[in-house]
Chain A
């Protein structure tokens, strides 16, 4: 007499549960992948985690800033006070703008006013 034959119902239920097909291949691949990830030495794992965290932070900041800019441009209350620069000023080539004086040093013999001396108190 089997040690577990004291209750036929549960014996048969156990038999039914043993009938269930259990896919093991995908499960083993999952376990193996986790095991391999777990055997990466701690410093490397830490470095990998830091890199991942930095990349995530940069990506999050980029997405956030883009979203803010788009929201700002789409908001009429933000863009209402924006006056575009005159087209003529923007389109003037640099070469045609007025040039500064070539030099600021006085030429020899130029008419330079003498600096007044303070009065003699002696």
Chain B
């Protein structure tokens, strides 16, 4: 199932959920939680922080379902915008936390165990994930929304509060930076691509 195609029952879930019906809220949660979680994980690179942000996003969204305006954006874009704002807050609060010196080096970005094993299953190297995490927050947001969130540039622009062209430009700059990072790594861009072609 494509992540960007809303389920047929979405309107009904939203209507019933905003009236306080728990099964409708549960259905919305089951459908969208994994997507919100993956987006948060891509932005924060921390399993527990991503869980916290995703849960917090749903608590807010389900309590404020009546405020969702379907004419302004897709439901998923609305959810992602809430999650994005919480990820930014979380990142800001973590800014002053102490980090080990090794983690400042781009090559040693810690990769969550679950992400590492998923990359292994796909025959991908951890450098791919590290290259994504090494991006500036602005570029990473655009790349994560576009590729991990599978959003169109118009939706990325809505979530980031910029126009689609700016969103596209940020995503392309992010991809170029990832390529550059991989060229500098021991893996090499060509090796990465050949591994992906084999998949």
Contacts and interface: CB of A to CB of B under 8 A. Distances in A.
B26 interface: yes
A24 B26 CA distance: 11
Contact of B118 (A4, A16, A27): A16
A38 B121 contact: no
Given A3-B152, A13-B129, A38 B63 contact: yes
B193 A10 contact: no
A73 to B, nearest CB: 42
A7 to B, nearest CB: 5
Interface string B124-152: 10001100100000000001001110101
A19 B116 CA distance: 11
Interface residues of B, number: 44
Interface size bracket, A side: 20 to 34
A14 B147 contact: yes
B33 A13 contact: no
Contacts of B54: 27
B22 interface: yes
A10 B51 contact: no
Given A16-B118, A27-B54, A10 B143 contact: yes
Contacts of B118: 16-17, 19-20
A24 B35 CA distance: 11
Interface string B185-199: 000000011001101
Contacts of A17: 38, 41-42, 115, 118, 148
Nearest to B30: A24
A9 B38 contact: no
A21 interface: yes
Given A9-B193, A24-B30, 13 more contacts: A4-B146, A8-B196, A9-B179, A9-B182, A10-B147, A12-B122, A14-B150, A16-B115, A19-B118, A20-B118, A28-B33, A31-B62, A34-B55
Interface of A: 3-4, 7-22, 24, 27-28, 30-32, 34-35, 38-39
12 contacts: A4-B146, A7-B175, A9-B128, A12-B122, A17-B42, A19-B118, A19-B121, A20-B115, A27-B29, A27-B33, A34-B59, A35-B25
